[in-house]
Amino acid sequence: MQRLFGIETEYGITIENKKNIDPVQLSIELIKSYRQGDFRPMWDYDGEDPFRDERGFRASELQEHPDERQYQEQDRQRNLAYNEIKSDMILVNGARLYNDHAHPEYSTPECRSLFELIAHDKAGERILRQCAARRSEKLHREVLLYKNNTDFHGHSYGCHDNYLMKREIEFDYLKESIMPFFVTRQIFAGAGKVGIETESGISSAGFFQLAQRSDFFHVEISVDTMHNRPIVNTRDEPHADAAKYRRLHGIVGDANMSEYSTALKLGTTALVISLIEKLQIPDSFAVNNPTQTIKEISRDQTYEWKLKLNNGRIISAIDLQREYLNLAQQHFAGEDSETDWVLTEWESVLDRLEKDPMSLADSLDWVAKKWLLETFIDEEGVSWDDPWLQSLDLEYHNINQDKGLYYGLQSQGSMRRVVTNQQIEHAIHHPPSDTRAYFRGKSLNKFSADVKSIQWDNITFNVKGKPVFVCMKKLADPTLAAEYNRVLNNSSTVESLVDSLGIRN
């Protein structure tokens, strides 16, 4: 895949058989359960600017869900500092764990390997499950975590896939080229959902749609992520040399339980970005009215998934995806084993979706979930508008491997996997060895007492009572990252580390 990419996942959180909870406080305490002992906030918020827009300006404000005002008022009553409410932690595997808008969020470390990224995504589930178990023990009630995107009361929370790409690509071209792909990607990347939902709640519960997030997109492009959500996000936070790179911050995807769905979602998107960098996407792909089309595809019960392009052409989502696939095959076939895996599976999935979508019940989340729900409907004699189905929908995403419906299927050997339990266990404790995440995670593991502050692209060490700042923005270059990682491995003290790197502050 040969580019830095990662996943940020916000988890739904509640307490079993308890209606009134404070999700912010619950998330804070859950995250603090990661470590035994005192919480030491180290995240460095300097340099973060979610208002900066890739179109060349800085937004004056961000749109917020109306409930955010309530959370903000509650936060003012907590008598906690901002960094305590956020409870930011960098983990020894290079990942970030923190409270984001009343949800615990796990952000994987940056990876260069597709399957290593899948292992780190699954490692996040297991880390959070362990935190939930510790918290449940203290509360004497079970803390429940769901890797999904909706609470069925009008709230949607995100799973964002991120890709480092060339800055030189004009944003308008990027937007027009990626939009049709994002609108149609849900036919294999959707997690499935019972009913139609808006910010006001469920408006129709009588059928099943492909994706959890498609109901919640209202504009084509914007810097916002929480309200008036855009299909293409314009936040300009490259976490790298801004003269060379931008970060495509994809907020349009569902949180996938299936390893296969996640791998296909990320792998195909990475290849489309490579096509965009080569300026290979024609303007004939442009979709008419994307915000309406993304909903229509998700809700289409015929599975024909027809859409209209700007040039007047009517095409199916499958055939539009095939046009992206054909270009990717022409340009990238044979590059490496992961790329060839993506190309092969992309073609296979599109063919099977056209012939019989339900044949993919062992691979795609939306198909597996639909099969479960249809089986339940047949056995219990209920209809699609029965509230019971929403509960089952939610339980598909329960990350407790003893209770979650997805994990029930996996334990039976009914879900296709792309990584092993051993790879996931390794990812819990170890960062990717070929990115700057290694430098971040191993610095924390090796010199924890000497780390003053830390974030994605810099670390500040306390060296003999003085702060020493190490900027990692240029470590997007794998050669430089490898050099920094080598020096770190060979350094026995933080003083020798900064000396060997030639850093003087």
End-to-end CA distance of the chain: 36
Return phi, psi of residue 440, to 5°.
-65, -50
Instruction: Look up residue 269 and give its two tokens.
Output: 């998107």
The dihedral built from the CA positions of residue 426, 429, 434 and 435, taken in this order, carries a sign that is positive
The single residue of 44, 100, 161, 393 carrying the catalytic annotation is 100
Active site residue 100: yes
The dihedral built from the CA positions of residue 394, 395, 401 and 406, taken in this order, carries a sign that is negative
Chain position carrying tokens 């027009």: 176
CA distance 357 to 372: 14
Of residues 165, 160, 189, the one with CA closest to residue 177? 165
Indicate the residue type of 430: H
3-state class of 348 per DSSP?
helix
Indicate the residue type of 257: M
Of residues 10, 46, 48, the one with CA closest to residue 30? 10
Pair 187, 297: CB distance under 8 Å = yes
Find residue 461's DSSP bridge partners.
451, 468
Find residue 455's DSSP bridge partners.
458
Radius of gyration (C-alpha) of the chain in whole angstroms: 22
3-state class of 317 per DSSP?
helix
Of residues 482, 475, 445, 443, the one with CA closest to residue 457? 475
Pair 462, 471: CB distance under 8 Å = no
From residue 130, alpha-carbon distances to 125, 140, 269, 399, 401 in Å are 9, 15, 31, 10, 11
Indicate the residue type of 208: F
Burial 425-446 (b: 16+ CB within 10 A, else e): ebbbebbbebbbbbbbbbbbeb
Indicate the residue type of 263: A
Chain position carrying tokens 């059928």: 207
Pair 265, 253: CB distance under 8 Å = yes
Give the residue numbers annotated as catalytic, written as ranges: 100
